Amino acid sequence: MSALFGFRWCGSRSQILFNIYGKRLQAPVSKRLIHKTAGVLSVSDSEFTAAQDRLNSLKEDPGNEVKLQIYALFKQATTGKCNISKPGAFNIVAKAKWTAWDSLGDMSQDQAKEKYVGIVKDLAGQEGGEAEVASTSEGALSFTGLKYTVENGVATITLNRPNKKNAVTTEMYSEWVTALDTAGADDSVVLALITGAGDFYCSGNDLNNFMKIDPSDLYEESVKGSHLLERYVNSMIDFPKPLICAVNGPAVGIAVTTLGLMDVVYASDTATFHTPFATLGQSPEGCSSYTFPQMMGSAKANEFLLFGKKLNAQEAFDRGLVTEVIPAAQFRETVDSKVKEYAQLPRNALRLAKNLIRETEKERLHKVNRAECDLLIERWTSDECAQALMSFFSKSKL
Ligand code: COA
């Protein structure tokens, strides 16, 4: 999940300054940036998470003062009133953050969310001329690590970083959510196919992103990462059409754990399935703590999820993780021909049948997802995780 931490800024500093109660101290921006949520409207959780994603994708650095306000509002919105003791005078960064958070006093969590979303909208509006936080229209799809195509009723999402074994970056998590939202809303799409470019399906989270985090920001970045991960997994839980995964080669971590949320999984006979969470001081996600024991039985799921036993394609098939194993030489051709045929089936019948099969489990899956993401905040901030990663990076050329 390291990839979820990649919160960074580039470009020149913006001149927007706000005080912590949302009044402008200095705002050389046009009136079009004054957003409609500046008053009493409350924002939904999805608007709040969309604002976090949008913040991560800003091109311009808004400057330290705005960043401090955003930090303080985020803490107030997610934790409530400042509940930590004042850092020592020599810890300048931690003290500045504490002061910003503490000065929000008794501001309600809803109010903090609203102001947070408002600031992000203003910043986004200044960059793009639009005040909207999220855009999911097909025309707006422009991805860094994914390829998205629609043909003959099939939306194909390809993890597209073959030289990095399709390791998932922060941007790719957000892009995935956008791609699935778009495919779900597009009437021309009957089903979605997910696969990887090159010889790997996916090597899991991009571990390099751990290296980008300032240790003093670890907790905040972990909370943000957890929210993004939750949204990413929810995009699969809630996808309204058949979701087919073509595991074209080895799969690691999150690329494996989310397979229980796919409706059909085809695997090349070169595919392997590996969840090395314990080695990395982390814990299972993608609802696998629930879906894997259900599909494999707890004894087999435990060996896999707790001890990181690597499975080959046949073993994954035997455990119910895979629908069919297909020889590598015919893999893509066979999968393409199957999905093309499925996409000719009556779309409403497919959608309604999927809904019938999945609906009863949805609430539970959301709950499991939240619990797994919460635990990961603890894991990512633990000494065990830090030590496991240091050991990994010291041995690896990553
Ligand atoms: N994060 C970041 N980069 C990764 C990556 C990951 N998860 N997996 C692979 N890469 C990069 C490698 O750094 C390498 O980049 P380089 O060419 O710039 O050095 C490139 O992808 C190829 O990987 P390499 O290790 O040379 O290929 P391999 O076939 O020998 O091994 C893996 C592939 C996936 C087994 C190995 O890279 C690995 O163990 N990656 C980490 C997997 C992981 O732990 N994921 C998180 C699970 S929670």
| Residue 208 Cβ < 6 Å to ligand 1 | yes
Average pLDDT over residues 174-202: 97
Same domain, residue pair 106 and 151: no
Same domain, residue pair 256 and 349: yes
* Tens digits of residue pLDDT in 3-45: 344 333 333 223 222 222 233 323 333 332 323 333 445 677 7
Closest by alpha carbon to 116, among 82, 62, 81, 66? 66
| Residue 397 Cβ < 6 Å to ligand 1 | yes
Among 195-209, 303-317, 324-338, the range scoring the smallest mean pLDDT is 195-209
Query: Ligand 1: which of 159, 160, 165, 209 to mutate, judged by most atoms within 8 Å of the beta carbon?
Result: 165
Identify the DSSP state of 99. Answer: H
Type of residue numbered 220:
E
Given 69, 92, 127, which residue is the final one in a domain? 127
Atom of ligand 1 nearest to the CA of 254: 48
Question: What is the domain count for the chain?
Answer: 2
Residues 180/148, Cβ–Cβ less than 8 Å: no
Domain contains 6: no
Q: Residue holding tokens 């892009």?
A: 175
Atom of ligand 1 nearest to the CA of 3: 1
Closest by alpha carbon to 115, among 47, 162, 181, 177? 47
Residues 136/46, Cβ–Cβ less than 8 Å: no
Mean pLDDT of the chain: 84
Same domain, residue pair 246 and 309: yes
Same domain, residue pair 189 and 252: yes
* Tens digits of residue pLDDT in 118-138: 898 888 887 764 333 333 334
Domain contains 3: no
User: Given strand 251-252, what is the order of strands in its sheet?
Assistant: 251-252, 272-274, 311-312
| Residue 184 Cβ < 6 Å to ligand 1 | no
Domain that holds residue 119: 13-127
Query: Ligand 1: which of 160, 161, 201, 203 to mutate, judged by most atoms within 8 Å of the beta carbon?
Result: 203
Among 80-94, 128-142, 378-392, the range scoring the smallest mean pLDDT is 128-142
Who wins on pLDDT, 294 or 60?
Answer: 294
Q: Whose CA is nearest to atom 35 of ligand 1?
A: 203
Q: What is the CATH number of the domain that holds 383?
A: 3.90.226.10
Please list the residues that pair with 326 across neighbouring strands: 268
Query: In 59-132, where does DSSP find H-type helix?
Result: 64-78, 92-102, 109-128
pLDDT value at residue 192: 98
Q: Are strands 243-247 and 324-326 parallel, antiparallel or unpaired?
A: unpaired
* Tens digits of residue pLDDT in 212-230: 778 888 899 999 999 999 9
